[in-house]
A and B are shown apart, each in its own frame.
Chain A
């Protein structure tokens, strides 16, 4: 009987999890032409990808946007969580409102931000103009486009991560802080010496989540270019996920797209490992 109860999940896993994974490998070892014909090519697709400038461009873009988005996001989320952990009126309402971005659809967010970042009439350039900054063409240039996309990601996820950090903070025993206060440790010191090290397990969870989400980024940059997976006129903000969709479903090069999917998986594994090691060092002084 227990087997019958868990079987729906595992049947679906076989059909829509295991089968696609195995066949992605199979596809990646074949060459496909537009007519649907195919032939064995071994590791040929992987070899071509590793020398494909467009692929490396997508890898660099993905990592670049990930770093620009994640570093400030983690810091902001930590400080925000620390603030949310204090006692104040309307606490639930304020906690709910920082989650508001999460319940907004990704495409809607990207549409709004794209208008805010418009070169000639966007609010962002208008406000920067007060400080004497000339209008930036956010979409046309590489680093500005990364920043624009990173802010979309951060707007959506900072509040969410703050709430997760907050949950972690609330499991930290209060007597630790009381003892530290008696010893004369300042609040700032308590944050760095108690909160941060005790938060490490939560941080690992959050960072791994952000790694998977960040390295598979697709919706925001695609919407930033009106639903086109090219990622700008020079591909300046094309991510690996967009590259896969372009190769597989705009140029119907299934083998190439499948090989790129495996390389993306490899990238996620490496990213997860690196971030895991980084987080483990944070607050390692304790």
Chain B
């Protein structure tokens, strides 16, 4: 098994990879904790300064950026989409994996096809017009609704349910006279919880990061956090400490998710990749 021990070159490569992965985040902290004069100094500052709290307060109190509102809105958008996508996908995944019905394979194929189409880019014009007709531009439901459709989620939960819930288990429950919804609730849900967690984490991160559609359909006075950063960037483009403090704030929820669920994220990604 000596074959599997790393060479010096491998070790160096791993060290470089870890350093490069972390560096921009470290840099974010350096600039966010400095003064603006430091941020444009040559040579650049390499260590964090003492102004982090001050800069974060400046962002939160900035009237134009509406940063706190942006953070709240992003939580609402990402939260609502995550809960609905997980629920819808789990229900559909159970149907596709454990139930027999006419047209099942055709419908499943349709789900796979929807995964291949970049709907958010393809459909922006009609979606925008629809939101105008409904009077929903500038509102959170305009951001949320198009994302409730998630082919990847249905696919993932179908695969996961197939593996986690044996048909015999469903059959046995049915012989005992359990109704379909009851089987879903009592038998399927407890078994697929890890799959739901992976899908939920993925969806939350995806929605927290969403940029193009909110940029089109929202206005700066009711932003998501990404739009709030963009407004800061557009108005105070060289006020780096202000913008960097904003970006640092904006990634805190993601970093929290990562610290709490990092192991599951790595595991989920690797499992999902092998199945797909």
User: Which single residue of chain B is at the shortest CB-CB distance from A187?
Assistant: B3
Interface string of B2-34 (1 = CB under 8 A from A): 011110001101100110111011011001000
Is the C-beta of B42 less than 8 angstroms from some C-beta in chain A?
A: yes
Cα–Cα, bound, A108→B72 (Å): 17
Partner of B128, one of A26, A92, A126, A248: A248
Within 8 A of A (CB), among B116-135: 116-119, 121-130
**B48 interfacial contact with A, CB 8 Å:** no
| A83 engages B6 (CB within 8 Å) | yes
- The answer to whether B42 touches A120 (Cβ under 8 A) is yes
B215 within 8 A of A: yes
The chain B residue with its CB closest to the CB of A124 is B44
The answer to whether B175 has its CB under 8 Å from any CB of chain A is no
* Contact A121/B44 with A16-B127, A115-B240 known, Cβ cut-off 8 Å: yes
Please choose the segment from A49-57, A65-73, A220-228, A275-283 that sits at the chain B interface, where 4 or more of its residues have CB less than 8 A away: A220-228
Q: Which residues of B contact A205 (CB under 8 A)?
A: 273, 276
**A85 nearest CB across to chain B (Å):** 8
CA distance A9 to B107 in the complex (A): 11
Task: Indicate if the CB atoms of A181 and B127 lie closer than 8 Å.
Answer: no
Decide: A116 and B265 in contact? CB cutoff 8 A. Answer: no
Residue B83 CB within 8 A of the other chain: no
Give the residues in chain B near A187, CB-CB below 8 Å: 3
Query: In A77-129, which residues have CB < 8 Å from any B CB?
Result: 79-80, 82-88, 92, 94-109, 111-113, 115-116, 118, 120-123, 126
- B35 is an interface residue with CB less than 8 A from chain A: no
Query: Are B21 and A121 in contact (CB-based, < 8 A)?
Result: no
- Chain B's closest residue to A101 (CB) is B21
Instruction: Give a binary string over A254-268; 1 marks a CB under 8 Å from any B CB, 0 the rest.
Output: 100110011011001
Find chain B residues with CB under 8 A from A167 CB. 269-271, 273-274
Chain B contact residues: helix, strand, loop or mixed = helix
Q: B208 an interface residue at 8 Å Cβ cutoff?
A: yes
Q: Which residues of A contact B127 (CB under 8 A)?
A: 16, 20
The answer to whether A98 touches B18 (Cβ under 8 A) is yes
B237 part of interface (Cβ distance < 8 Å): yes
| B250 interfacial by beta-carbon distance below 8 Å | yes
Q: Return the contact of B122 from the options A105, A171, A181, A264 (Cβ within 8 A).
A: A264
Beta-carbon contact of B234 and A24 below 8 Å: no
Q: Determine whether the beta carbon of B274 is less than 8 Å from that of A171.
A: yes
Q: Is the CB of B42 within 8 A of A121?
A: yes
Give A111's nearest chain B residue, CB to CB: B247
Chain A contributes a number of interface residues (CB within 8 A of B) equal to 95
| Min CB–CB distance A242 → chain B (angstroms) | 9
Whether B196 sits at the interface, judged by CB under 8 Å, is no
A168 proximal to B (CB < 8 A):
yes
- Determine if A248 and B40 form an interchain contact, defined as CB atoms under 8 angstroms apart: no
Cβ contacts under 8 Å, A133 to chain B: none
Residues of chain B with a CB closer than 8 A to A59's CB? none
A60 to B65, CA, bound (A): 35
Q: How far is the CA of A17 from the CA of B149 in the complex (A)?
A: 8
Q: What are 26 A-B pairs with beta-carbon distances under 8 A? A: A1-B99, A5-B91, A13-B110, A17-B149, A20-B119, A20-B127, A21-B122, A24-B122, A94-B18, A99-B21, A101-B21, A107-B211, A108-B229, A108-B251, A115-B240, A115-B244, A155-B24, A160-B269, A163-B269, A219-B209, A241-B212, A254-B125, A261-B121, A261-B122, A261-B125, A268-B118
Query: Given A20-B122, A24-B122, 14 other A-B contacts at CB below 8 A?
Result: A6-B96, A16-B145, A99-B258, A103-B258, A104-B24, A105-B225, A111-B229, A113-B24, A121-B42, A155-B20, A163-B269, A178-B3, A226-B237, A261-B123
Chain A positions within 8 Å of B, measured between CB atoms, are: 1-3, 5-6, 8-10, 12-13, 15-17, 19-21, 23-24, 26-27, 79-80, 82-88, 92, 94-109, 111-113, 115-116, 118, 120-123, 126, 155, 159-160, 163-164, 166-168, 170-171, 177-178, 181, 187, 202, 205, 212, 216, 218-219, 222-223, 226-228, 241, 244-245, 248-249, 254, 257-258, 261-262, 264-265, 268
